[in-house]
C-alpha cells in the first residue's frame, strides 16, 4: 500500500473523529450516574473505522453499546476497567477490545503521542454478519457472547498481536477504504473486518486465551462448534480421515453422547444466547444455526428447553 495514501487516510479519519457523536449518555441499566456511548456514527453504517490521536486525555468511566476493537498503532496508554483500581497498560502493537456494555476509561498522559485505530461494530450487525463465520473457540466465543446473557459481563481482551504484518495490513486497508467512502464501502469493509476478527481469534488462542485440545474427541467437538450450521457426521469423518462409524463410536465412548446429541446441544446453546441477547427473528436464528425448516428448530428448542423460542426470548427480556 502506498505510504502516502495511508498517511492521508489516517489524517482524514483523525480529522473526522471529533465530529463523531461520543456524547456521554445515561446508562439505563447501571448504577445512578453511569454513562455510556451509543453508536457514534451514521445509523445506516454497521461498521465504523476511527483513528483517535490522543494526549492528555482522561475519560470518564463509561460503557459502550457496541463491540469495539482498538489497536494501538502508535504509542502507549492506560485503560481503567470497571473499577478504577483495574489499570491496564496498552502498548503499541497490542489490541484492547470490549463487548457491548463493558466499561472502561482511557487515560493518555500529557506527553503521550498515541494513535489508536478502532474498528467499531454494531451489536446486531455483529451477530448477523460475523458471529456465524467465526470459530467457536470456547474462551473467545464466550467473550463475544457474554454481553448477550449478561450485560455486566464487563470483559475485555488485551494482548499483543503476534502477526503484526497481517493485522496491520487489514487495518490499514480498512482505514483507507473508510477514509475514501463510496456507496459500497460498507460491503467492502465487512469481509475485511471478518478477516481481522479471524486473525484476532487465532492469535487470542495462541496467546494463552485458549488451548488447542489434544484428544481427538475434543478436536471433533470443537470442529463441530466451528461449523454448527453445516456440519454432518460424514463431513467430520472426512475432515479427520476416519470412518463415520468410528467417529460416532468414539464420541459416544468419550463424551457419553451421540453426534446428533452433541450437535443439538451446541445449536441450542447458541440459540439461547441469540434469543436472549439480540432482536433477531426466530426464523433468522434458525437459519444461522443450520435449520432449513423453522418448525424443526421450534421442535428441537422445545424438546431441549421445555418452552418455545419466543417464550424463552420474552423471559430474557429480548
Domain spans in the chain, listed from the N-terminal domain onward: 3-209, 216-315
CATH architecture of 216-315: Orthogonal Bundle (1.10)
Q: Could you tell me the fold of the domain covering 3-209?
A: Jelly Rolls (2.60.120)
Q: Quote the cell numbers at residue 303.
A: 424438546
pLDDT in tens, 61-86: 888 889 999 999 999 988 887 654 57
**Residue 186 · residue 45 · CB < 8 Å:** yes
Instruction: Give the DSSP letter of residue 256.
Output: S
204 or 5: which leads in pLDDT: 5
Burial label for 303, CB within 10 Å (0-12, 13-18, 19+), is exposed
Averaged pLDDT score across all residues of the chain = 84
Is residue 137 pLDDT above 60, yes or no?
no
- pLDDT bucket at 226, cuts 50 / 70 / 90: confident
* pLDDT number for residue 1: 60
* pLDDT number for residue 32: 74
Task: Name residues whose C-beta falls within 8 Å of residue 238's C-beta, 6 or more positions apart in sequence.
Answer: none
* pLDDT number for residue 211: 52
- pLDDT bucket at 207, cuts 50 / 70 / 90: low
- pLDDT bucket at 55, cuts 50 / 70 / 90: confident
Is residue 128 pLDDT above 90, yes or no?
no
In sequence order, the β-bridge partners of residue 52 are 116
Q: Poorest-confidence range of 167-171, 190-194, 221-225?
A: 221-225
* pLDDT number for residue 160: 82
Amino acid at each position: 500500500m502506498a505510504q502516502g495514501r495511508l498517511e492521508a487516510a489516517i489524517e482524514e479519519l483523525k480529522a473526522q473523529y471529533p465530529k463523531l457523536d461520543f456524547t456521554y449518555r445515561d446508562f439505563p441499566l447501571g448504577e445512578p450516574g453511569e454513562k455510556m456511548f451509543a453508536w457514534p456514527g451514521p445509523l445506516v453504517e454497521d461498521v465504523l473505522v476511527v483513528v483517535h490521536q490522543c494526549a492528555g486525555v482522561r475519560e470518564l468511566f463509561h460503557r459502550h453499546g457496541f463491540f469495539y476493537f482498538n489497536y494501538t498503532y502508535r504509542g502507549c496508554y492506560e485503560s481503567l476497567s470497571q473499577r478504577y483500581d483495574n489499570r491496564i497498560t496498552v502498548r503499541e502493537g497490542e489490541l484492547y477490545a470490549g463487548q457491548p456494555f463493558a466499561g472502561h476509561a482511557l487515560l493518555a498522559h500529557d506527553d503521550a503521542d498515541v494513535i489508536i485505530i478502532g474498528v467499531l461494530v454494531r451489536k446486531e450487525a455483529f451477530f448477523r454478519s460475523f458471529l456465524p463465520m467465526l470459530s467457536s473457540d470456547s474462551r473467545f466465543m464466550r467473550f463475544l457472547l457474554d454481553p448477550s446473557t449478561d450485560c455486566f459481563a464487563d470483559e475485555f481482551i488485551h494482548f499483543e498481536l503476534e502477526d503484526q504484518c497481517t493485522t496491520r495490513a487489514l487495518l490499514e486497508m480498512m482505514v483507507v477504504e473508510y477514509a475514501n467512502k463510496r456507496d459500497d464501502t460498507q460491503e467492502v469493509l465487512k469481509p475485511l473486518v471478518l478477516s481481522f476478527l479471524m486473525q484476532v481469534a487465532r492469535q487470542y488462542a495462541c496467546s494463552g486465551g485458549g488451548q488447542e485440545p489434544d484428544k481427538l474427541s475434543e478436536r471433533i467437538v470443537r470442529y463441530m462448534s466451528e461449523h454448527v450450521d453445516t456440519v454432518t457426521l460424514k463431513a467430520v469423518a472426512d475432515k479427520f480421515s476416519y470412518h463415520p462409524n468410528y467417529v460416532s463410536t468414539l464420541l459416544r465412548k468419550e463424551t457419553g453422547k451421540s453426534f446428533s446429541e452433541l450437535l443439538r446441544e451446541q445449536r441450542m446453546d447458541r440459540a439461547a444466547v441469540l434469543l436472549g441477547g439480540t432482536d433477531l427473528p426466530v426464523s433468522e436464528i434458525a437459519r444461522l444455526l443450520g435449520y432449513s425448516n423453522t418448525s424443526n428448530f421450534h421442535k428441537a428448542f422445545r424438546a431441549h428447553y421445555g418452552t418455545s423460542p419466543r417464550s424463552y426470548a420474552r423471559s430474557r427480556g429480548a
